[in-house]
């Protein structure tokens, strides 16, 4: 039953009323790894994750999640998953602790309720009704409910929307701890730094197709990461991509000090934006110099 | 894997259903608006009618004692309570939970829909029983309504009440699919419930309605429930005012029974945690 891959997707397609939202994608998630699915809104990310969670039926292709077809996943299968959906509008009258204690009862081997509350940083709010919490705090309850059942595979669909920077850092720590315990994680996020911090591997999805996949530090391939040297001479902006920026800079300097010399290593964000085709200009902006 | 569920499923389904019922009951009493519009509303109406019509003539018992407004309206309000606690509460609750993502969350959890419904029906049952007890107690203590002493009448009360609560709950589940969003749930459900109450002899004396309207009302369970409650709490002689001139207990069982079966089939066939897109 323990296979290398907790998720296997082959040729997945999803059509809504003749519109192709997902057009044949393939990827695997290995046991114990954190996989980030990245892409702009409407690219097919959420459709894909909801198919894996069993919320949507696919139009074509093969999908296996923890060895089962999500379209026919039973209760025992669901007990092995943790699902953090995109923000919902729930505002229950239960307190944080009541809610978690209640949901813990659904699972055969739940985590300790107070430990989970502490892990998401809500200890002080444990006795507060969920409806009285702030948006970011409610989101933490969502995360807590996602992990209370000690899932083997955790789906996190834009989990940190509405978090302040400190809460996001805390959350990253929690996800790393889960990963260290062996939890496999599928993460979607708009924050590329988050993906870079948390994921082992990732895929970029655009227009329903996977346009890149691999270890998060190598996404987009080696060519996309070739540094860019940029300088101004005689009022003209020059740019050159080179694998040996040091040598280029030395040559430039030998001919006289260039103006505004920069060596830019494309960030995940630059590569991402290149790949999803939303920009040619943005990676060249001044602000993105590292 | 260690994470497979080892308990036998029926046991687990029931256990979670009971846990769910406790959770639902607690939530119910924390929502001020449901407590008022569902739980206390019949009591409020009973009080208003009893006071407003305290000088009106509601006939008399064979012994010559006058029947008070409170005695006359108690059965109607008990029937209304069954409808509100069962149908209105259930329909609005589930529609709201569909709209706000509660059902989607549950759909992704290892909770069986059967447990969910055990929880809902448990909540309805407990709140409806408390509501009826409160109504009867206030009627007795505050308004001095004489209660039946014959065990057969209480037996009738018990089965009419339970059948009514169950039928209304199931129909409420069915109706929960009608509102298009959680926000419109109250606006869609409450008028249906109100109209039913007006044509079924809850606010207006049933025998005062034109015969055709009585016949329309008799297509729905509420008129039958009100009829059954009158059979329990009004003097025997009042049966003369009913259609057919007698208490028709078999009619209650048949009408509610048909609605119950139809509702169960419809629920089984149509209920989904979430609407899977096309």
**What is the 3-state secondary structure of chain A?**
CCCCEEEEEEEEEEEECCEEEEEEEEEEEECCCEEEEECCCCCCHHHHHHHHHCCCCCCEEEEEECCECHHHCCHHHHCCEEEECCCCCCCCCCEHHHHHHHHHCCCCCCCCHHHHHHHCCCHHHCCCEHHHCCHHHHHHHHHHHHHCCCCCEEEEECCCCCCCHHHHHHHHHHHHHHHHCCCEEEEECCCHHHHHHHCCEEEEEECCEEEEEEEHHHCCHHHHCCCEEEEEECCEEEEEECCCHHHHHHHHHHCCCCEEEEEECCCHHHHHHHHCCCCCCHHHCHHHCC
Q: Are residues A202 and A265 in the same domain?
A: no
The CB density around residue B44, as the number of other CB atoms within 10 Å, is 12
In this prediction, residue B101 has a pLDDT band, given cuts at 50, 70 and 90, of confident
Q: Is the CB of residue A70 less than 8 Å from the CB of residue A44?
A: no
Q: Are residues A138 and A34 in the same domain?
A: yes
Model pLDDT for residues B175-192, shown as the tens digit of each residue:
888 888 888 888 999 999
Q: Nearest-CA neighbor of A113 among A99, A124, A125? A: A99
Answer whether residue A87 is part of any domain. Answer: yes
Rounded alpha-carbon distances, angstroms, from residue A148 to A85, A145, B101: 15, 5, 18
Cβ contacts of A159 within 8 Å, gap of 6 or more: A84, A139, A142, A143, A171, A187, A189
Helix (H) or strand (E) holding B182: none
Q: Is residue B28 predicted with pLDDT exceeding 60?
A: yes
Q: How many domains does chain A have?
A: 2
Q: Quick one: pLDDT at residue A278? A: 54
Picking from A156-170, B124-138, B189-203, which range would have the lowest pLDDT averaged per residue? A156-170
Q: Is residue A237 predicted with pLDDT exceeding 60?
A: yes
Q: Are residues A146 and A175 in the same domain?
A: yes
- Residues of chain B with pLDDT > 90, as a percent, come to 67
Interface of B with A (CB under 8 A): 1-7, 9, 16, 19-20, 23, 26-27, 30-31, 99-102, 104-105, 107-112, 274, 276-278
Q: Is residue A288 predicted with pLDDT exceeding 60?
A: no
Q: Are residues A209 and A162 in the same domain?
A: yes
Mutate to test the interface with B, among A19, A85, A90, A130 (most CBs of B within 10 A): A90
Look up the ipTM and state it: 0.86
Range of the domain at A245: 221-288
Q: Are residues A229 and A206 in the same domain?
A: no
Mean pLDDT of A50-59: 94
Answer whether residue A1 is part of any domain. Answer: no
Q: Based on the number of CB atoms within 10 Å of its own CB, is A129 exposed (0-12), middle (13-18) or buried (19 or more)?
A: middle
Answer whether residue A156 is part of any domain. Answer: yes
CA distance, residue B108 to nearest chain A CA (Å): 6
Cα-trace Rg, chain B: 20
- Residue written as token pair 């813990």: A104
Determine the residue of chain B that is closest to A80 in CA distance.
B3
Answer whether residue A14 is part of any domain. Answer: no
Q: Nearest-CA neighbor of B120 among B28, B189, B21, B30? A: B21
In this prediction, residue B240 has a pLDDT band, given cuts at 50, 70 and 90, of confident
CA distance, residue B128 to nearest chain A CA (Å): 20
In this prediction, residue B1 has a pLDDT band, given cuts at 50, 70 and 90, of very low
Q: Quick one: pLDDT at residue A7? A: 96
Contacts of B30 in chain A (CB under 8 A): 93, 129
Q: Which of A187, A215, A243 is the last residue of a domain?
A: A215
Q: Is residue A22 predicted with pLDDT exceeding 90?
A: yes
Answer whether residue A195 is part of any domain. Answer: yes
Q: Is residue A289 predicted with pLDDT exceeding 60?
A: no
- Residues of chain B with pLDDT > 70, as a percent, come to 96
Mean pLDDT of A48-52: 94
Answer whether residue A10 is part of any domain. Answer: no
What's the mean pLDDT when you consider all of chain A? Answer: 88
Q: Is the CB of residue A77 less than 8 Å from the CB of residue A1?
A: no
Contacts of B26 in chain A (CB under 8 A): 93-94, 98
For B276, which DSSP code? Answer: -
Residue A185 belongs to a domain with what CATH number? 3.40.50.300
Q: Is the CB of residue B244 less than 8 Å from the CB of residue B206?
A: no
Q: Nearest-CA neighbor of B84 among B114, B127, B21, B138? A: B127
Q: Is residue B132 predicted with pLDDT exceeding 90?
A: yes
Choose the most confident range, by mean pLDDT, from A1-10, A275-284, B79-88.
Answer: B79-88
Q: Nearest-CA neighbor of A11 among A47, A59, A45? A: A59
Q: Beta partners for A10?
A: A62
Token pair in block for residue A102: 């209640």
Q: Quick one: pLDDT at residue B275? A: 65
Distance CA(B170)–CA(B268), nearest Å, equals 10
Q: Quick one: pLDDT at residue A280? A: 38
Distance CA(B128)–CA(B87), nearest Å, equals 11
For B211, which DSSP code? Answer: H
Q: Are residues A175 and A263 in the same domain?
A: no
Q: How many angstroms from the chain centroid is the CA of residue A182?
A: 18
Q: Is residue A261 predicted with pLDDT exceeding 60?
A: yes
Answer whether residue A4 is part of any domain. Answer: no
Q: Is residue A72 predicted with pLDDT exceeding 50?
A: yes
Q: Are residues A258 and A131 in the same domain?
A: no
Q: Which of A163, A192, A215 is the last residue of a domain?
A: A215
**Cross-chain Cβ contact A75/B26 below 8 Å:** no
Q: Are residues A88 and A130 in the same domain?
A: yes
What's the mean pLDDT when you consider all of chain B? Answer: 89
**Cross-chain Cβ contact A76/B110 below 8 Å:** yes
Identify the three-state secondary structure at position B60.
Answer: strand
Sheet holding A60-65, edge to edge: A19-30, A5-16, A60-65
Q: Are residues A119 and A206 in the same domain?
A: yes
Q: Quick one: pLDDT at residue A283? A: 38
In this prediction, residue B119 has a pLDDT band, given cuts at 50, 70 and 90, of very high
Q: Is residue B5 predicted with pLDDT exceeding 60?
A: no
- A154-182 as b/e: b if 16+ CB within 10 A: bbbbbbbebbeeebbebbeebbeebbeee
A109 in contact with chain B, both atoms CB, cutoff 8 A: yes
Q: Is residue B133 predicted with pLDDT exceeding 90?
A: yes
Q: Is the CB of residue B5 less than 8 Å from the CB of residue A108?
A: yes
Q: Beta partners for A238?
A: A231
Determine the residue of chain A that is closest to B30 in CA distance.
A93
The CB density around residue B186, as the number of other CB atoms within 10 Å, is 17
- End-to-end CA gap in chain A: 46
Q: Are residues A97 and A225 in the same domain?
A: no
CA distance, residue A15 to nearest chain B CA (Å): 9
Show the CA angle centred on residue A186, arms to residues A46 and A266, nearest 5°.
85
Distance CA(B78)–CA(B90), nearest Å, equals 17
A126 in contact with chain B, both atoms CB, cutoff 8 A: no
Answer whether residue A284 is part of any domain. Answer: yes
In this prediction, residue B71 has a pLDDT band, given cuts at 50, 70 and 90, of very high
Q: Are residues A239 and A179 in the same domain?
A: no
Q: Is residue B266 predicted with pLDDT exceeding 90?
A: no
Q: Are residues A133 and A246 in the same domain?
A: no
Q: Which of A175, A196, A215 is the last residue of a domain?
A: A215
């Amino acid at each position: 039953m323990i296979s290398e891959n907790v998720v296997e997707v082959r040729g997945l397609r999803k059509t809504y009323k003749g519109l192709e939202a997902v057009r044949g994608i393939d990827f695997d998630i290995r046991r114990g790894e954190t996989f980030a699915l990245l892409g702009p809104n409407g690219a097919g990310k959420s459709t894909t994750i909801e198919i894996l969670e069993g919320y949507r039926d696919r139009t074509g292709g093969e999908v296996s999640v923890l060895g089962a077809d999500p379209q026919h996943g039973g209760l025992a299968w669901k007990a092995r998953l943790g699902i953090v959906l995109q923000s919902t509008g729930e505002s229950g009258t239960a307190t944080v602790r009541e809610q978690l204690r209640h949901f813990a009862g659904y699972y055969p081997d739940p985590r300790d309720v107070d430990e989970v509350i502490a892990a998401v940083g809500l200890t002080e709010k444990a006795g507060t009704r969920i409806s009285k919490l702030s948006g970011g705090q409610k989101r933490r309850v969502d995360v807590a409910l996602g992990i209370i059942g000690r899932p083997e595979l955790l789906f996190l669909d834009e989990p940190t929307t509405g978090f302040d920077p400190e809460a996001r850092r805390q959350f990253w720590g929690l996800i790393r701890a889960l990963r260290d315990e062996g939890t496999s994680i599928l993460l979607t996020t708009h924050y590329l730094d988050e993906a870079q911090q948390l994921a082992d591997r990732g895929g970029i999805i655009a227009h329903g197709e996977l346009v890149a996949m691999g270890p998060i530090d190598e996404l987009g391939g080696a060519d996309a990461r070739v540094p860019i040297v940029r300088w101004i001479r005689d009022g003209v902006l020059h740019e050159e991509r080179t694998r040996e920026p040091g040598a280029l800079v030395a040559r430039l300097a030998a001919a006289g000090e260039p103006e505004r010399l920069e060596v830019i290593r494309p960030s995940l964000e630059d590569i991402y934006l290149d790949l999803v085709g939303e920009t040619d200009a943005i990676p060249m902006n001044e602000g993105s110099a590292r | 894997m260690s994470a497979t569920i080892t308990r036998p499923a029926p046991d687990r389904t029931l256990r979670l259903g009971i846990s769910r019922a406790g959770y639902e009951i607690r939530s119910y009493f924390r929502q001020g608006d449901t407590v008022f519009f569902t739980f206390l509303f019949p009591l409020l109406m009973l009080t208003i009618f009893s006071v407003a019509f305290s000088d009106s003539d509601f006939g008399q018992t064979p012994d010559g004692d006058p029947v008070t407004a409170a005695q006359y309206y108690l059965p109607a309000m008990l029937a209304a309570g069954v409808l509100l606690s069962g149908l209105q509460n259930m329909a609005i609750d589930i529609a709201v939970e569909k709209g706000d993502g509660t059902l989607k969350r549950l759909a992704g959890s290892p909770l069986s829909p059967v447990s969910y419904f055990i929880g809902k029906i448990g909540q309805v049952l407990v709140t409806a029983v408390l509501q009826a007890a409160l109504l009867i107690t206030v009627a007795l203590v505050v308004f001095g309504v004489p209660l039946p002493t014959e065990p057969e009448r209480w037996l009738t009360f018990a089965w009419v009440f339970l059948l009514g609560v169950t039928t209304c709950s199931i129909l409420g589940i069915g109706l929960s699919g009608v509102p298009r969003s959680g926000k419109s749930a109250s606006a869609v459900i409450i008028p249906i419930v109100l109209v039913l109450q007006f044509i079924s002899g809850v606010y207006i004396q049933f025998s005062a309605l034109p015969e055709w309207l009585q016949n329309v009302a008799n297509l729905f369970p509420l008129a039958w429930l009100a009829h059954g409650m009158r059979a329990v709490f009004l003097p025997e002689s009042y049966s003369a005012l009913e259609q057919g001139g007698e208490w028709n207990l078999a009619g209650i069982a048949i009408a509610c029974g048909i609605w119950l079966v139809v509702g169960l089939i419809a629920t089984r066939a149509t209920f989904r945690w979430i609407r899977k897109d096309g």
